[in-house]
A and B are shown apart, each in its own frame.
Chain A
Amino acid sequence: MAYNLGIPKLDDLIGEIRGGTNIMMIGPPMSGKEDLINIIAYRGLADRDAAVIVSTREPGNNVLEWFERRNLNIAMDRIGIVDCVTRTLGFAAPDTENIKMASSPVDLTGIGVKISQFFEHFWMEMQLRETRLCINSLSTILMYSNLQTVFRFLHVFTGRIKAANALGVYVIEEGMHDAQTIVTLKQLFDGMIEIRGGEDGYQIRVVGLTPKPTPWFDYEINGVDVVLRG
């Protein structure tokens, strides 16, 4: 099983990503990380993979709207969203086919159960063997729970990603956490997508999936196309 990010130039440089890989995506606020992680999920859906998106920042419906706004014809039977927001806003929304509700970002047990349920559904009932788990974002979870707690949660679920030969991508906000937190969490990942501010916008590179980091590229997001320059 092999995956790609759906970002042409970077995919060419890093080659196929083997199943069971966990990647941290770290970058400053407003640098387009949410778009990027949704694009990674979308590229998987377009390749007939399944996608599970854990949303701690936006209600699940907003995540689906992201795809709708871009007129993307995604296969609804292959996308699952774990919504950690709606119930904390006081809405008694029941689970749907595509959106399962966690009580809050504190409820790591519930988040874990919902992720497992989607994985079981895609694997057992739909016989899909390639699934992408996109968590947006770990920073919110870290705001509610301490590092040790989040580390335990990730320890379990990065392990599940390996067992299922899936691809895991986890967003972290740069500047929100101390260096020790980032170093601690890094142990759990096989690679990183790093984003930084450039002279004219933002730059991106991949670290850890190839012997040397890729070069930094300026990038621009047009719909679901990530255009790299340089």
Chain B
Amino acid sequence: MIETGIPKLDGYLHGGVPEGRSLVYYTYPGVAGDVFGMQTICHATSNGRLGVYVASSTDPQMIRDQFSEFGWATENYDGRFIVVDAFSWLIGADSQERYVVSDPEDINSLTQCIKKVMEEMSEPGIIVFESLSTIMDLCGESETLDALEEWSQYAMLYDHALVYNFTAWPYSEETLLHVKENVCNSVISVGGITGDVVFGQYFGVLKVDWADLARKSTLFKVLKPGGIRAYIPKILVTGPFDAGKSTFVHALSNRAVSVDRLGTTIALDHGHVDRKGFAADIFGTPGQERFDPIVKLLSGEAMGIFLLLDSTNTADFERGKRMLEITKSFGLPVVIVANKQDLAEALTPEEIRRELDMPADVRIMPAVAATGEGVFEAFETLVERVMEVD
């Protein structure tokens, strides 16, 4: 199995792409889908696999630079990263690559080169196509679709995995349907949430023939460096005054800022978390009742909620429950963080559950925000719950 390097997607695919199978990232125009293929090949080659990248719209040296921008240094892959140059000819430039397509506008020329690479790869590896749509534009739709079948058969013979980046420009219905249904063993939809502009991006599995289909979508963000991160645009951190919300936001975040007065949050805390393939923006609310209108404002469109409680201050627990009501969090994933567990009089999470009369399926997690203890465990638990939502 060859992992895609995108943890959530590998989860959907039950580990990645099996050898000899193919996958297409079916991307809507304007969405950064090409990074999926880049991340997949870099993850594979950095894990010792042989990787071939078929460049059809970028100069090979520029490709290496682009990978570097994401923090993937292809020169460190000990010759396991190979570029097939199907671009230089188009701009009349010389190529320094070992594999060069003599005429990228001729599908036979491309096929010949790809077959040669597959034959000469010393072990099963992964072949990623920078842009299947560019190949289709240059060589013709039907010619390319025919060639894909031939490449797939050849890849199966040598146990290579094939991965395509495809931009779904308005090709003919037949072509788009063919790419979606017949060309590959798996289709990953990479789309944009559109309104007046594209304001969010998601991926989901449309088809997979080696595992059960998980009909879920995951929002993502592209980070430089970093690559694709499953992304949660808004996680709310709320709770009574002095429960440790700001400390929690700062402990969790790679970078954070608070709007406070003498240490008390009077508007919000904001932090950004990038951890284990996931990214999230965290918004902390004030805790004092006089700021409740701000809590209401901040809670709009939250995808998950942390309720921070001071484990030693039972008097504020009711206020905590009230704050959950203010955020209108019904139905949203909630994790209660039992903070200040290092203090002698702290209640255990189970004692807090009884005090709050919370059902067993609400997770209450121990933490000490001041030292960071338990903070990331709470984050991972909430992220898991947010991602489970269809």
The answer to whether A103 and B137 have CB atoms under 8 Å apart is no
The answer to whether A160 and B137 have CB atoms under 8 Å apart is no
The answer to whether B34 and A109 have CB atoms under 8 Å apart is yes
Supposing A92-B65, A103-B59, A110-B34 touch, asked if A153 and B197 sit within 8 A by C-beta, the answer is: no
Q: Which residues of A contact B197 (CB under 8 A)?
A: 116, 119-120, 123-124, 160, 163-164
Asked if B210 is at the interface of the complex by the 8 Å CB criterion, the answer is no
User: Which among B62, B134, B198 is the interface contact of A120 at CB below 8 angstroms?
Assistant: B198
The answer to whether B131 and A109 have CB atoms under 8 Å apart is yes
The answer to whether A92 and B62 have CB atoms under 8 Å apart is yes
Q: Which residue of B lies closest to A151 (CB)?
A: B170
The answer to whether A144 and B62 have CB atoms under 8 Å apart is no
Taking A109-B134, A112-B30, A165-B196 as given, write out 12 further A-B residue pairs in contact, using a Cβ cutoff of 8 Å, ordered by the A residue number. Answer: A95-B69, A103-B62, A108-B134, A109-B27, A116-B30, A124-B199, A144-B91, A148-B137, A152-B170, A156-B169, A156-B170, A160-B197
Residue-wise, chain B 183-206 has the 8 Å CB interface mask toward A (1 for contact) of 000000000101111110000000
Supposing A103-B62, A145-B137, A156-B169 touch, asked if A109 and B57 sit within 8 A by C-beta, the answer is: yes
Interface size class of A (residues with CB under 8 A): 35 or more
By a beta-carbon cutoff of 8 Å, the part of chain A in contact with chain B is 87-88, 90, 92, 94-95, 103-104, 106-110, 112-113, 115-117, 119-120, 123-124, 144-146, 148-149, 152-153, 155-157, 160, 163-165
Number of interface residues of B (CB under 8 A): 37
The answer to whether B58 and A104 have CB atoms under 8 Å apart is yes
Q: How many A-B residue pairs have CB under 8 A?
A: 105
Asked if B61 is at the interface of the complex by the 8 Å CB criterion, the answer is yes
User: Which among A104, A149, A156, A164 is the interface contact of B196 at CB below 8 angstroms?
Assistant: A164
Q: Which residues of B contact A120 (CB under 8 A)?
A: 197-199
By a beta-carbon cutoff of 8 Å, the part of chain B in contact with chain A is 27, 29-34, 56-59, 61-62, 65-66, 69, 87, 90-91, 131, 133-134, 137-138, 165, 167, 169-171, 192, 194-199, 224
Q: Which residues of B contact A165 (CB under 8 A)?
A: 196
Q: Which residue of A lies closest to B30 (CB)?
A: A116
* Chain A min CB distance to B188 (Å): 16
Q: Which residues of A contact B138 (CB under 8 A)?
A: 145-146
* Chain B min CB distance to A63 (Å): 20
The answer to whether B194 and A103 have CB atoms under 8 Å apart is no
**9 A-B pairs in the complex with CB atoms less than 8 angstroms apart:** A92-B62, A104-B91, A108-B134, A108-B137, A110-B57, A116-B198, A153-B169, A156-B30, A163-B196
Top 9 A-B residue pairs of the complex, sorted by shortest distance between their CB atoms:
A116-B30, A103-B58, A92-B65, A149-B137, A107-B57, A152-B169, A109-B167, A123-B197, A119-B197
Supposing A94-B69, A144-B90, A146-B137 touch, asked if A106 and B57 sit within 8 A by C-beta, the answer is: yes
The answer to whether A109 and B29 have CB atoms under 8 Å apart is yes
Q: Which residue of B lies closest to A150 (CB)?
A: B137
Question: Most B CB atoms within 10 A — which of A95, A103, A109?
Answer: A109
Distance, CA A92 to CA B27, complexed state (A): 26
Question: Most A CB atoms within 10 A — which of B29, B90, B91?
Answer: B29
Distance, CA A1 to CA B98, complexed state (A): 54
Supposing A104-B57, A152-B170 touch, asked if A116 and B90 sit within 8 A by C-beta, the answer is: no
